[in-house]
Every structure is written in C-alpha cells, then in structure tokens.
Amino acid sequence: MKTLARSRLFAPLFVALTASAWAALWLWDAGPYARYLRHASWAELPLIGALCRAAPGASLTLAASLHSAAWLLMIAAMMLPTAFPLFETFARMTSARENSRALMLLLIAGYASAWALFGLVAHGFDATLHQLADRSPALLANGWLIGAAIVALAGAYQFSRLKQRCLDKCRSPLMFIAEHWRGRSARRESFLLGVRHGVFCIGCCWALMLVMFAVGTGSVGWMLALGAIMAIEKNFRWGRAIGTPLGVALLAWSAWIVLQNARIA
C-alpha cells in the first residue's frame, strides 16, 4: 500500500515542483531585480554589489553563483517537464526499494548536472559574443547578424539526424532505463542515468536553448513558449509532426530578420 501511495503521489509532487519553479521565475521577472535575470552585472545589485567591491575576486564568484542559481531555476521550470516520462517511469520501477527517494534525487541531480555544465558553456559563449561585440563597432552595429545566425542554426538543426536520434532516446524512457540502469550499484547508476539522459536531452534542445539566449534569457514568456515546444516534441505522439514546421518557421524568422535589417541599411 505504501508503495502504491508513493507512486500516486509522484506526479502531483512533480507538478508542484515545476509550478514552484515557474512561480519563482515569474516573481523574479516581475520584481525590482528582473534585470539581473538577464545579462546585467550582478555587481550592481544592492548589498551584493558592495560586497563585490569590498572583496577582491568576489564579483566573479558571486556573479557565477547567482547566474548558476538563475540557470538551474530556468532548467527546473523548462526542462524537468520534458523529462517527466523518465522520472515517472523510474519512480514506478524503484518504488519497492527502501531508498527509492534517494535514488530519485540522485537521478534528478545527475540530470541537473548535465544541464548545469551546458549552462556554463552557453553562458561562456554568450559572454564571449558580448565581449567581441563591445570591441568591434561593426559587430555592435550589426548585432542582429548574431541573432539571425542563431535562429537559422536552430532551424537547420531541426532537420539533423543527431536531433532525431536524441529525440528517439528521450521518447523511450523505459528502454532508456533498461539500457543504462541495472540496480546493482543503485546510487551510482541512478546519478549516471540522469547524466546520460540529460546529455541526450541537451542533444534535443541545445539549439532552441540558444534561441532563448538570442531573444533574452530573462523573458519568462519566451521561456514558457520554448519549454512548451520542447515538451511537446519529446512527450507527445504528435510531437514528431511539429519538427519540420518548426524548422521552417525558424529559418523563415531568420530570413525575416535579415530582410528587415537589410532594408534599414
């Protein structure tokens, strides 16, 4: 009975966790510190800014910590729903174990670790582009080229074999667990299962996540739209049908950006 009750509680708790992450993002975006969810300097923040100026090296450390916290909150809101089938299947398969909760936490931690590493790479890439733009008047004046290129890349990636292979892995959670989890070294395997699934999830979604950087990481509306698209692609039967139209739409959007700016020039 306890096992059955625990299994039934998983979905509501998962929904509550995701809803809490979205609520936190919405409150952050609606509050006085909304700009710190985007690309502004964390050193400008009251109290934190004073600490950054007082302690050498604190600015970089605090900025990295706060950006990491913001990124993980975005991942919890956007990507956890896309991986719900895996988590729910794993919860049912391990519900009879006494340490089932610990194994689930390790699975989620592994998944979050993969996305955290991607976040570091993406933020580094984004920061490098901003530095290049600041040092190049021509690039700064034509920053739309970067946005158009990223949107075009996301559109082209929709048609790639790599994306389809990653989607196939994500759409078959039971087979994925059977392939990567034996339950012998349960804790280690649970964490690594989360990491592996996170890697395939990144393979599905990295290009669309770069679009989020291009349009603004602090826009809750964009995050909600992109999160919904990625969840549909991975978790619904008709998700396969939106891949091609989405790719065409992204390529058309990129072309529209180029045409609009070519007219102005």
Interval 30-71: pLDDT, tens: 665 555 565 544 444 444 445 445 544 445 555 566 666 777
pTM of the predicted protein model: 0.81
Structural domain range at position 170: 71-264
Residue 43 domain-assigned (yes or no): no
Q: Report the C-alpha gap between 171 and 77 in whole angstroms.
A: 20
Residue 24 domain-assigned (yes or no): no
Assess whether pLDDT exceeds 60 at residue 1. no
Interval 154-210: pLDDT, tens: 999 999 999 999 999 999 999 999 998 887 889 999 999 999 999 999 999 999 988
State residue 160's pLDDT score: 95
Residue 175 domain-assigned (yes or no): yes
Residue 168 domain-assigned (yes or no): yes
Distance from first CA to last CA of the chain, Å, rounded?
Answer: 69
Tell how far CA 235 is from the center of its chain.
16
Residue 213 domain-assigned (yes or no): yes
Residue 204 domain-assigned (yes or no): yes
State residue 47's pLDDT score: 46
Q: What is the mean pLDDT of residues 102-129?
A: 87
What percentage of the chain carries pLDDT values higher than 90?
30
For the chain, the average pLDDT equals 79
State residue 175's pLDDT score: 93
Residue 176 domain-assigned (yes or no): yes
- Rounded to 10 deg, the angle between the 2-30 and 58-78 helix axes is 120
Counting the structural domains of the chain, the total is 1
Residue 112 domain-assigned (yes or no): yes
